[in-house]
Amino acid sequence: MSATPEERTLVKGCLAGDRRAQETFYRRYGPAALQACRRYATSREEALALLNGGMMKVFEKLDQFRWEGSLEGWVKRVVFHSAVDQFRRDRRRPTLQIANWDRPTDDDATHQLYADDLCKLIDLLPETSKEVFWLFAVEGYSHAEIANKLDFSEGNSRWHLNKARQLLRERLGQETHKHNRYAG
């Protein structure tokens, strides 16, 4: 995907320190990046704090963008890495290591819920398990990549994914989630 002249002008303005261009940039790319932050935050306020920190990184590194992919994808990636760094700094916890332990999950359990309902359930997961689940199930990272990003072993990544799946299965099995309240 090639950049539009509008995107190039906007980036030039941001690099020149034009506050209006920076505000326009933030308003245009912030909402997509906020979705990534919301996955890791326990509240909207925390997600906004992660977004603001991530967007500061974006503005610091904007001169490094090479126009080889989509600008929005690059912004989301920088904000995501900033959120992971924040997670590492603020929430480092000791974790168990159980190697090569992963079970498949029954995928049709989640089709009964809307995305917002599922996000609310995922938000209830323990922080590290929630992060591993999102990286693996939503972002598509491998266990090796997750282990590298979070600075622990692949077995630990598999354990957290399994724990997240187990907790989600239990919550989905509760009576309140057995029937979709929006179905006709």
Closest alpha carbon to 11 in 74, 53, 54: 74
Instruction: Answer whether 5-91 and 107-177 agree in fold.
Output: no
Question: Using DSSP, how many helices (H) and how many strands (E) does the chain show?
Answer: 8, 0
Domain 107-177 class? mainly alpha
Is residue 58 very low, low, confident or very high in pLDDT (cuts 50, 70, 90)? very high
pLDDT at 110: 43
pLDDT at 105: 45
pLDDT at 155: 92
Residues in the chain: 184
- What is the CATH code for 5-91? 1.10.1740.10
Q: How many CA atoms lie within 13 A of 29 on its CB side?
A: 27
For 140-155, write each residue's pLDDT tens digit: 888 998 888 888 899 9
At residue 53, does pLDDT exceed 80? yes
For 60-77, write each residue's pLDDT tens digit: 999 999 888 889 889 998
For residue 63, how many other CB atoms are within 10 A of its CB?
Answer: 9
Strands (E), the chain: none
Closest alpha carbon to 131 in 160, 89, 100, 102: 160
Instruction: Tell which wins on pLDDT, 85 or 109.
Output: 85
Q: Determine which of 7-21, 50-64, 117-131, 158-172 has the lowest per-residue pLDDT on average.
A: 117-131
Cβ-Cβ contacts under 8 Å for 49 (sequence gap 6 or more): 41
Q: Please report, for the chain, the start and end positions of each structural domain, with discontinuous segments joined by +.
A: 5-91, 107-177
